């Protein structure tokens, strides 16, 4: 998940935001991605076509961001949704990006595995009694 920051966010305010994010029990790690690092990542992702964005260093349009990684848990999807609601209106945050659809599908898949595991355990237990 990424919290894209306002261009006018002050370094002290960004540090406070990162500290607040890291104090969330569901968060594993938070890392600041500077505007310059964002531009480098973008260039790398473009590969051979990175020449298309030459000269952007002077007027870098990409925002700084905070990359947030969550602890793996059964309630990770719910924790991420709560996190988004909590940080969506932070003054330093311009936009919160995460793949809600993908996370929902993963949560469904995990629930299915749990159900199948429970059914298999019940079957094994009942056949053991017979």
The answer on 92 and 80 residing in a single domain is yes
**How many domains would you assign to the chain?**
2
Answer yes or no: do 56 and 117 share one domain: no
Give the structural domain span for 128.
Answer: 100-130
Specify whether 53 is located in the same domain as 81: yes
pTM above 0.75, yes or no: no
**3-state secondary structure at position 9:** coil
- Higher pLDDT among residues 48 and 37, named by residue: 37
- DSSP string spanning 19-72? HHHHTSTTEEEEEEE-HHHHHHHHHHHHGGGGGGGTTTTTT--PPPEEEEEEPP
Each residue's pLDDT tens digit, 92-111: 999 998 765 444 554 555 55
């Amino acid at each position: 998940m990424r919290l894209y920051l306002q261009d006018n966010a002050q370094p002290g305010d960004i540090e406070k935001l990162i500290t607040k994010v890291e104090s969330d029990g569901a968060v594993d790690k938070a890392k600041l991605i500077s505007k310059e690092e964002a531009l480098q990542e973008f260039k790398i992702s473009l590969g051979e076509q990175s020449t298309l964005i030459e000269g952007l260093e002077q007027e870098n349009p990409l925002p700084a961001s905070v990359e947030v990684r969550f602890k793996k848990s059964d309630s990770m999807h719910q924790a991420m949704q709560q996190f988004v609601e909590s940080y969506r209106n932070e003054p330093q945050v311009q936009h919160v990006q995460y793949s809600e659809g993908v996370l929902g599908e993963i949560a469904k898949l995990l629930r299915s595995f749990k159900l199948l595991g429970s059914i298999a355990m019940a079957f094994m237990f009942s056949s053991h009694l017979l």
